[in-house]
Structure 1
């Protein structure tokens, strides 16, 4: 989907569709008022007849409005004007994208970015609109035999800004929004990938591809089980003993600040590509969702992709702690005592409490980077 920004009055727009807001109770936004004026009150007359109240989620698609160059006008309910906050704005954009897609509009000029959102400027509104649009249109169907495509998918969205002085800021907002959206999509794709494909080796391959794509600033190192043993990462290794898939820790280093004094921010992502619970096995109901136990690592990967795309002037290290918790003849057991990388001993009471065992060794490992901050990301216990 293509995004762009422009500055212009609504009556001069020649597009498949113009999108404007309506507030409760039946109050036209400033841009909608301009369209109403050139249409000799056509829109306000519809509101007086009760066609649209302006409540959140309401829509009204108008065709061939008098004196308007665009084919259609989409009125979007925005709720009460004084209550339009960040959350409500995102919902309005989401409803807009879904409606345009459902009605077969292939392109549109959106004036919703000119609505007043508490504490937010036009840069934020454009960037958030791009992120929300990409999120709304997201689907994971690459493994389906038969893929269903929209009849006429939305392909182009133009966001209007009040003045030409804000075009540069708007273009930057689109660039940033696309980078953030791409990172979110990458994380979602990893999370949705089935565990017979997405194992620790698959995570490592994605980390290597990231380094290949952004070789100027990114390097990736993959640490296998042999090196983990040499490092003393026995807790991490124990979790993966029951699996036939090797445990692999992928370390992605992004360097955007060449200063020798610049300390990195370290992100650690739990990457249990499937968590059966091990010997303390989980109930079968809902176990298929345990493929999502690697979403911490997926989130870290998405952030690293975004950071590299934006070329941020900071140093960031992302660690994808990949492994699989399975029962088996080599699996660790309740009652085992493990010596962690830090030298502390830990007694295992439940093999389904594996996340802390993986993360404790990884958190010890990342101390070598002397980080400015460490953030670990993991799915909650289930």
Structure 2
């Protein structure tokens, strides 16, 4: 979808040629003497339009307005959250229509929040998954013009919003792929294509390389699957050489049966979404490709399947992790922490300024927070605050949960340094405490996205979260106004990377 930013007032919107004109109407809407203002004022006076967020009123061939279809969308108090709700409702209402060009008029006082809401809200509601359908429905909407009071003033916000929308859609598409498509090998290929197209560094390691490194915990989880594991390393070298990077670690279980501790069959198909953390890291890099901030970022993705087989790891097994710590397996369905712990140890070699892991880790986090906020755990106060602020700004919120040492008591065992599970109580915190053991040498945060990475029911599908949060956090770490240190990346049509930047050596 093509987005355009344009300086446009209410009177100008009336003359704008398009298939659909969407007017966001906050509670403090200021009417002028133009046809759009007259329509809004009449609708409000008659109480046919409520300015409550998400409420819509549609008009056809309204007098004095060039667009044949007009949607008045209530935007509540005009905050970013309410504006996004309004845009989502309006965009959803035209999703199945033949409209190809839409104009969204943002309230003049909404600034960056309005621009983000218009772009990201439209992208989210108009997304259609078609990859594995024999007769895919076409997405008719091709062009969306965002009308603002001053396009020059909102240009940076517009660029950020477009990047976020691209990254979120990339993550959603990967998350929605069926598990026989989105294999560990496929994720490695997607990372390589992304790197080639946008100038990132990339390495994709296979079982032999991972064995040489010594990732015994990660390797054990993958043993029961015919699909070979992959360990993906992505690099955005946007900052000065030698500057400490931010490391993003994404859990990439491309399908989770639970292993020998097999899951109930109900809704097991949704375990294709267990690579939501990996998808969010790839989606964040897709967004970074648009903006190229002056910041060094590393992406680490351990990816494999968790399957029951004669070769599978078992309850009672003792694993030796990359850190040297031994782990007693009490439940093979607590596999995410077993692949992440080796990646967290691997992250130390980059001497990072911060490490953030992202994982669909625990059902307990879903019980605690539902699908509204991701769970946040952090060993560093400043990092925790930065992530919380980024989530609020990106409308991709998280909620901080505790890391008291007492929560780790249940992980004690007579047979290894640590067990991989404890009792049911405080399960999300206990899982975070397990990971914390392997993240002692740098500022660390863990995002449990088990409740936010996908939706079930009739709206089943990946959400692309928390790409918005991660991008907002990373941009806040870059120098103010900092563009790319490097020259523009090669286009997809000329995918050859810079010499020495790409190392793909995945040995099965």
- TM-score of the pair, normalised by structure 1: 0.87
Residue 133 (1) aligns with residue 135 (2): no
Unaligned segments of structure 1, at least 5 residues: none
Q: Where do residues 29-178 of structure 1 align in structure 2 (5 Å cutoff)?
A: 29-30=29-30, 32-35=31-34, 44-79=41-76, 83-101=77-95, 104-114=98-108, 116-117=109-110, 122-149=111-138, 153-162=140-149, 166-178=150-162
The 3 A distance-change label for structure 1 pair 22 and 222 is closer
* Residues in 2 aligned to 1:301 and 1:67: alpha-carbon distance in whole angstroms: 46
The answer for the alignment partner of 1:187 in structure 2 is: 171
Work out whether residues 113 and 159 of structure 1, in 8 Å CA contact, stay in contact via their aligned partners in 2.
no
Deviation at 1:130, TM superposition (A): 0.9
Q: Where do residues 1-382 of structure 1 align in structure 2 (5 Å cutoff)?
A: 1-12=1-12, 13-16=15-18, 17-23=20-26, 29-30=29-30, 32-35=31-34, 44-79=41-76, 83-101=77-95, 104-114=98-108, 116-117=109-110, 122-149=111-138, 153-162=140-149, 166-215=150-199, 218-260=200-242, 262-382=243-363
* Residues in 1 aligned to 2:81 and 2:39: alpha-carbon distance in whole angstroms: 31
Deviation at 1:330, TM superposition (A): 0.9
* Residues in 1 aligned to 2:11 and 2:297: alpha-carbon distance in whole angstroms: 47
The 3 A distance-change label for structure 1 pair 223 and 154 is closer
* Residues in 2 aligned to 1:357 and 1:43: alpha-carbon distance in whole angstroms: 57
The 3 A distance-change label for structure 1 pair 145 and 65 is closer
Structure 1 runs of 4+ aligned residues shifted over 6 Å read: none
Unaligned segments of structure 2, at least 5 residues: 364-508
The 3 A distance-change label for structure 1 pair 294 and 18 is closer
Deviation at 1:210, TM superposition (A): 1.2
* Residues in 1 aligned to 2:272 and 2:69: alpha-carbon distance in whole angstroms: 44
* Residues in 2 aligned to 1:95 and 1:257: alpha-carbon distance in whole angstroms: 39
* Residues in 2 aligned to 1:251 and 1:141: alpha-carbon distance in whole angstroms: 29
Work out whether residues 272 and 294 of structure 1, in 8 Å CA contact, stay in contact via their aligned partners in 2.
yes
Partner secondary structure for residue 192 of structure 2: helix
Deviation at 1:43, TM superposition (A): 5.0
The answer for the alignment partner of 2:416 in structure 1 is: none
* Residues in 1 aligned to 2:161 and 2:42: alpha-carbon distance in whole angstroms: 37
Deviation at 1:265, TM superposition (A): 0.5
Deviation string, structure 1 residues 238-285 (Cα, Å, up to 9, x no partner)? 00111111111010111001333x101101111111111111111111
Partner secondary structure for residue 167 of structure 2: helix
Deviation string, structure 1 residues 281-335 (Cα, Å, up to 9, x no partner)? 1111111111111111111111112112211110000011111111111111111
Instruction: Find the structure with the greater CA-based Rg.
Output: 1
Query: Which moves more between the two structures, 3-12 or 348-357?
Result: 3-12
Partner secondary structure for residue 167 of structure 1: coil
The 3 A distance-change label for structure 1 pair 342 and 287 is same
Deviation string, structure 1 residues 40-75 (Cα, Å, up to 9, x no partner)? x56534443443233333222233434444444322
The answer for the alignment partner of 2:439 in structure 1 is: none
- TM-score of the pair, normalised by structure 2: 0.66
Deviation at 1:147, TM superposition (A): 1.4
Query: Which moves more between the two structures, 166-175 or 234-243?
Result: 166-175
Partner secondary structure for residue 168 of structure 1: coil
